[in-house]
Structure 1
Amino acid sequence: MIQVLSSAWALLLGMGLLMVGNGLQGTILGVRGEIEGFSTLEMSFVMSAYFVGFLGGSRLAPEMIRRVGHVRVFAALASFISAVMIMYPMLTDPIAWVLGRVVIGFCFSGVYVTAESWLNNAASNENRGQALSLYMIVQMTGIISAQGLVLLGDPAGYQTFVIASILVSISFAPILLSISPTPAFDSTKPMTLRELLGKSPLACVGMFFLGGVFSAQFGMSAVYGARAGLSLFEISTFVAAFYIGAVVFQYPLGWFSDRMDRRLLITLVSVAGGVGAVVGMIYGVTYPVLLGSAFVIGGLSNPLYSLLIAHANDFLDHEDMAAASGGLVFINGLGAIAGPLITGWLMGDEVFGPQGFFLFLAALLFMTAIYALYRTTQRPTVPVDETGTMSPLYPTASPVAFEVAQEVAIEAAEAEQDAQETA
């Protein structure tokens, strides 16, 4: 771990600041939208637009990097991110915000692709897994820390948006001034969706549902808080609870994942998360219960991302693991685009009101559990001693981090196979 920090501290520091800025702008938009009188449906389009841009950026950024290089892509996207964050309070119009969110989602995706390829280059085969784990912790810590900064300014003014812009601007300094060489960029040709669905139907269906769950948390939790009449402090704490739970539950669930049938674990985790959402929907008027519900939902749904990847790997040959990453990211992105739109419709006053937020999360998690249980009847499980290790990964990561996680899984599987052959 010390070796990882010494070689990649600038990158990790920069990404931490970047995630603070991203987490801050996501929450403050939900609050500011309520102040400006935007409807729930309008805010759902605003929040969904981020994932439209993110999905587009994840597919176009690699080509941009190949053409002009990491540094130029990094600097150009940083400029656009800072500019859009300043634009939000100047152009308080839903259409302007939708366009801004598409741009900012595209830029953040490109930045993640660039930074994560740098991280992969800085790591060695021996510490790549540690580097990825540390990177994921930095990402979640950044988003959690951002919720405290929400309280520093009046959401009806400019201050908070300026803070987010400043954080993003200075986040690039440690990275661009680092003496680390820029890596050669390469990406794996993705597996077709038809092939991927044939290899692991549960991973594909689960990734689609999970995309909706994550985008609802990331994009609509602050909108829910504002619609439910929570104070600014209560909204920031409520949003933070999702990500605190994600950090707390990631490694315990990873431990269970390596010791039991993953389809059964996916079923149990999804059911528990769905129950947490139902509790929030029914008893969410009590604020401590609301926080507990967010902690459980975030803590159980976010590690599902890693669980589904590990499950897919159990049915893939080593040479196909990296190729599968592109398809899984794309499927997750489609679900993420749909998530805020459906949530916003359910949260409309003419439908279920604010509680539609929890209804949507519960429905997706229960559907994931039902399908996972169904898949246990369709083919035999992979024996536990033949499954690979689960690598920690959150839905905030780009396809590059996904491929790094697959490389870690391949290396771990090959090392275990060599150990068995030597014994």
Structure 2
Amino acid sequence: MQQTTTCHQSNGMFVPVAGLTVFAIASGYLMSLIPLSLANFNIDSSYASWLASIYYIGLLIGSLMIEPIIAKIGHRIAFISFLTLLAATVAVLPFFPHKELWLFARLVAGMAVAGIFVVVESWLLIGDSAKERAKRLGFYMTSLYGGTTIGQLAVGYFGVQGFVPFVVILALLFIAILPPLFIKQGQPDSHGHQVLSLKQITRLSKPAIIGCITSGVVMGSIYGLMPLALKASSLSTNQVGVLMAAIILGGMVIQPIISKLSIVMSKTLLLALMSLLGVFAMGLTYLSTDYVVLISALALLGMSAFALYPIAITLACDNLDSSYIVAATQVMLFSYSIGSALGPIGANSFMSEQNGLMDFFFIVLLATAIYMLIASLQRKPQVLAS
């Protein structure tokens, strides 16, 4: 495999970022809506963790199927198709309030979202230098988390009762379809993609893969269980919305910083530092139960959790030829999905304890920080041979 990062193709950013931002608003609202609306549809709240996990299982399955679809129909049509599929899974939820159908719908939704992520990430990462890739991915993550923050605030504005929240989410998803539907220029060349062999996958950066898994564990647990954990602490629905928004806002604020730091320092060491930031954030929750302190702690947790994935994926794509970017983003999303599927199940065993979810994050992030610190001292160049 050639280890080249030079490509003269200039890919448009407006279509993927505009579509993704509106999608993120809908997704942020939906992620909090599902666990909080279970009681309204007479579904036991104990299914919240299973709904979160099966969504990430769908993400995992989808991450294995995306590359040939993009190669066949191109980034733009694939983007439209996956957004439409996601909208269909949202539409059925309020009309069929049965746990079995909700589980199936969330499985399919995970597969659709996997497609959205791989399309947008590879769209932005194909071509350009490693420095430009970091900048583009930082901009992408800022748009993603900014949109998700607004979506979290919609919980307080539109509520979680009845059909209205689902109508709002569907409207947003159809708006997200408009940029790729009407703007046909700027998508990358869909030809020339190459698949990574198993041997080449094993030679991808191990810290990058671990970073994606940890990000999935933490993010899956945040989205799947954090609203319930906060609600169990006698917080109001509005306060839960604000705290969830604080997590996402923290993730958005850190993006420009990590995109600059990833250029000037070891990405493996940066993964260690971001993990330690999350450990510090959880430590704050042990020191005080004050609402303002909790907002600050969860914002720091958001900085930690949301920084891991973009650092890890740019680390994985370092020294890769552009033709392998789609395949590499699939591998990283697959790793993220494994963590996302296992995270809520593992975290659920801590939920019966006071501050249990925070304990779970403390343990996971501390273990990751220790691994990354050791790996940064033993780092070897990434070599991929065909």
Q: How would you bin the TM-score normalised by the shorter chain?
A: 0.7 to 0.9
State the TM-score, normalizing by the size of structure 1. Answer: 0.75
Equivalence for 1:188: 194
Alignment of 1:63-78 (within 5 A): 63-68=68-73, 73-78=78-83
Equivalence for 1:346: 350
Alpha-carbon separation, structure 1, partners of 2:258 and 2:133: 21
Equivalence for 1:412: none
Deviation at 1:311, TM superposition (A): 5.1
**8 Å Cα contact 1:77-1:110 kept in structure 2:** yes
Q: Is residue 238 from structure 1 mapped to residue 247 from structure 2 by the alignment?
A: no
Deviation at 1:142, TM superposition (A): 0.8
Equivalence for 2:99: 94
Amino acid at match of 2:143: V
- Cα gap change, 1:95/1:283 in structure 2, threshold over 3 Å: closer, same or farther? farther
Alpha-carbon separation, structure 2, partners of 1:270 and 1:312: 18
Amino acid at match of 2:360: F
**Which of 80, 86, 110 is the matching residue for 2:85?**
80
Alpha-carbon separation, structure 2, partners of 1:81 and 1:213: 23
**Which of 296, 302, 305 is the matching residue for 2:300?**
296
- Cα gap change, 1:37/1:346 in structure 2, threshold over 3 Å: closer, same or farther? farther
Equivalence for 2:357: 357
Q: Is residue 372 from structure 1 mapped to residue 372 from structure 2 by the alignment?
A: yes
State the TM-score, normalizing by the size of structure 2. Answer: 0.82
**8 Å Cα contact 1:283-1:289 kept in structure 2:** no
- Which has the larger displacement, 251-260 or 366-375? 251-260
Equivalence for 2:311: 307
**8 Å Cα contact 2:32-2:155 kept in structure 1:** yes
**8 Å Cα contact 1:270-1:300 kept in structure 2:** yes
**8 Å Cα contact 1:283-1:290 kept in structure 2:** no
Deviation at 1:95, TM superposition (A): 2.3
Percent identity reads: 23
**Which of 52, 66, 74 is the matching residue for 1:61?**
66
- Cα gap change, 1:188/1:239 in structure 2, threshold over 3 Å: closer, same or farther? farther
**8 Å Cα contact 2:80-2:180 kept in structure 1:** no
Deviation at 1:174, TM superposition (A): 2.5
Deviation at 1:340, TM superposition (A): 1.3
Indicate the SS of the match to 2:349. Answer: helix
Amino acid at match of 2:173: V
Amino acid at match of 1:229: S
Q: Is residue 49 from structure 1 mapped to residue 39 from structure 2 by the alignment?
A: no
- Which has the larger displacement, 94-103 or 157-166? 94-103
Alpha-carbon separation, structure 1, partners of 2:258 and 2:75: 35
- Cα gap change, 1:184/1:201 in structure 2, threshold over 3 Å: closer, same or farther? closer
Alpha-carbon separation, structure 2, partners of 1:188 and 1:209: 27
- Cα gap change, 1:307/1:131 in structure 2, threshold over 3 Å: closer, same or farther? closer
Report which of the two structures shows the higher radius of gyration computed on alpha carbons: 1
Deviation at 1:360, TM superposition (A): 1.5
Q: Is residue 33 from structure 1 mapped to residue 38 from structure 2 by the alignment?
A: yes
Indicate the SS of the match to 1:189. Answer: coil
Equivalence for 1:105: 110
Alignment of 1:273-422 (within 5 A): 273-280=278-285, 282=286, 285-309=289-313, 322=325, 324-347=328-351, 349=352, 352=353, 355-375=355-375, 379=378
Q: What per-residue deviation string (whole Å, max 9, x for no partner) do you get for residues 244-264 of structure 1? A: 111222333444444445544
Amino acid at match of 1:267: A
Amino acid at match of 2:146: T
Higher relative contact order (CA 8 A, sep 6+): 2
Q: Structure 1: give runs of 5+ residues left out of the alignment.
A: 1-5, 388-423
**8 Å Cα contact 2:12-2:186 kept in structure 1:** no
Equivalence for 2:227: 222
Amino acid at match of 2:226: S
Deviation at 1:266, TM superposition (A): 3.3
Alpha-carbon separation, structure 1, partners of 2:291 and 2:42: 24
- Cα gap change, 1:267/1:87 in structure 2, threshold over 3 Å: closer, same or farther? same
Q: Is residue 145 from structure 1 mapped to residue 122 from structure 2 by the alignment?
A: no
Q: Is residue 271 from structure 1 mapped to residue 276 from structure 2 by the alignment?
A: yes
Q: Is residue 209 from structure 1 mapped to residue 214 from structure 2 by the alignment?
A: yes
Amino acid at match of 2:145: M
**8 Å Cα contact 1:34-1:227 kept in structure 2:** no
**8 Å Cα contact 1:152-1:160 kept in structure 2:** no
**8 Å Cα contact 2:215-2:305 kept in structure 1:** yes
Indicate the SS of the match to 1:52. Answer: helix
- Cα gap change, 1:68/1:321 in structure 2, threshold over 3 Å: closer, same or farther? closer
**8 Å Cα contact 2:134-2:259 kept in structure 1:** no
- Cα gap change, 1:65/1:298 in structure 2, threshold over 3 Å: closer, same or farther? same
Equivalence for 2:5: none
Alpha-carbon separation, structure 2, partners of 1:173 and 1:202: 37
**8 Å Cα contact 2:138-2:259 kept in structure 1:** no
Deviation at 1:338, TM superposition (A): 0.5
